[in-house]
Amino acid sequence: MPMMPGSKAPGMAGPAPAAPADPNKVILTIGSEKITAGQFETLVDALPPQYQNIARGPRKREFAESLIQLKLLSQGAEKAGLEKSSKVQQQLQFQRENLLAQAMFENLQQTSKVDDAALKTYYDAHKNEYDSVKAKHVLIRVKGAPMPGAEGKPELTDEQALAKAQDVVKKLKGGADFAAVAKADSDDTGSAQQGGDLGEFHRGMMVPPFEDAAFALKVGEVSDPVKTPFGYHVIVVEAHNTKTLADVKPEIEKSLRPEIARKEVQALRDKATVQIDDAFFGPAQLAPGAPPAAK
C-alpha cells in the first residue's frame, strides 16, 4: 500500500467534560491561606505544559498534596525569617526576573506583526502541506512486493500484474462500480474492504510514483496502471483541495511569531551595553558561518 493507514479503534463516547468550577469557590485551605479554583488554575498555568495535564487530570489530588507541602514549607520559611538571607533574596530576584522574562517573551509573540512578505514566503515554501487529495485505488500486487500476499492467492509476475491492472482500468472505464472492483480485485486488504478508499492525504505521505500520479489526476479520472514497489495501482481522485494563503494565514502567523520574537530579543541584546569577562566565561562562540573578528 502507498502508506500505512492509522488504525481507528471503535469509538465509544467518552465521559462528558466536567463543568468548570466557580473561580471564586475556595477549594483548598492551608492554615489561614485560602486558594480559590481560579487561583488554582493560575498556578497550574505557570507549570511547564507537560505537567499541566497531570495537575488537571487524574493526579490532581496528588498535585494538591504537593502544593500543600510547598505552602507549609514556604510559610515555615517566612516564620523563620529565611527570606531575609542574602542568598534567598538573590534567588527570589532571579526567579522574579525569570518569570518576567517569560511573560515578556509571550507578549512579544502575541503582539509581533507578521508582514505579508514573510507570510507569502512561508506559504510558498510549505505549499505541499496545504495541497491534498482524497483518493481510492485498486492494487494488483507483484511477486516480491514488501507486503505479504493473500493466503492462497497466486504470485503474479510483473507482466501478469500489469495485464490484470489494465483489465481493471477497462472495467472501471466501462462503468463498473469502483468499490465492487476494489473488494474483488485489490490486494491492499486494508483499503479493499472500504471500496479502495484511502481517505485524504498530503504530499509526502505516499510513495513518490503513486503521489505524483494522484496529484496529477483530474477529479473522477481513472488512472493508467501506476507502478510502485507494491505492484500496479489504478487510482481515482475524488477531491483535490488546495488551501489558499488566506485560509492558512492564522496558522502561518502562529508558526512565525516565535522566530520573530527571538529576533526582537536579539535586537535588544545587540542594542544593550554588555561586558563579559572572557577569562571567567570563556571566549565567545562564533555563529555558524560568521567570519572571525578582525584583530
Give me the CATH number covering residue 140. 3.10.50.40
Domain presence at residue 223 = yes
pLDDT tens digits for range 18-34: 556 799 999 999 988 99
- On the question of pLDDT at 17 being above 70, the answer is no
Give the pLDDT score at 151.
Answer: 80
Q: Is residue 208 in some structural domain?
A: yes
How large a percentage of the chain has pLDDT more than 90? 76
In a domain, 117, yes or no: no
> Is residue 145 located within the same domain as residue 213?
yes
What are the residues facing 35 on neighbouring strands?
A: 28
In a domain, 198, yes or no: yes
Same domain for 162 and 66: no
Kindly state whether residues 76 and 159 are assigned to the same domain: no
Instruction: Give the mean pLDDT of 200-224.
Output: 95
Does residue 85 register a pLDDT over 50?
Answer: yes
Query: Do the beta carbons of residue 231 and residue 140 sit within 8 Å?
Result: yes
Q: Give yes or no: residues 139 and 78 share one domain.
A: no
The per-residue pLDDT for range 223-248, each reduced to its tens digit, is 999 999 999 999 999 999 999 999 99
Q: Is residue 278 part of a domain?
A: no
What's the sign of the alpha-carbon dihedral 112, 117, 120, 122?
negative
pLDDT at 100 exceeding the cut of 70: yes
pLDDT (average), residues 88-115? 93
CA–CA dist 295, 51 (Å, integer):
49
Per-residue pLDDT, 5: 34
- Look at residue 64 and tell me if it is in a domain: yes
Residues in the chain: 295
Residue 252 has pLDDT above 90, yes or no: yes
**138 and 229 belong to one structural domain:** yes
- Count of Cβ atoms closer than 10 Å to residue 172 Cβ: 18
Rounded to whole angstroms, the Cα distance separating 206 from 200 reads 11
Domain range for 41 is 21-84
CA 176 to CA 169: how far, in whole Å? 10
d(CA 258, CA 220): 42
Question: What is the distance between the alpha carbons of residues 233 and 231, in angstroms, rounded to a whole number?
Answer: 7
Q: Is there a single domain that holds both residue 136 and residue 224?
A: yes
Residue type, 201: F
What per-residue confidence (pLDDT) applies to 147?
A: 87
- Lookup result for grid cell 505492484: 231
Q: How confident is the model at residue 290 (pLDDT cuts 50, 70, 90)?
A: low
Backbone angles phi, psi at 174, to 5 degrees: -85, 0
Would you say residue 122 lies in a domain? no
**How confident is the model over 131-176, as pLDDT tens digits?**
999 999 999 999 999 988 878 788 999 999 999 999 999 999 999 9
In a domain, 280, yes or no: no
Indicate if 159 and 230 belong to the same structural domain: yes
Q: How confident is the model at residue 289 (pLDDT cuts 50, 70, 90)?
A: low
Domains contained in the chain, number: 2
Based on the fold, state whether residues 134 and 229 are members of the same structural domain: yes
Secondary structure element (H or E) that encloses residue 35, with its range: strand 33-36
Mean pLDDT over residues 70-95, rounded? 94
End-to-end, the C-alpha distance of the chain in Å comes to 61
Over residues 273-279, the mean pLDDT reads 92
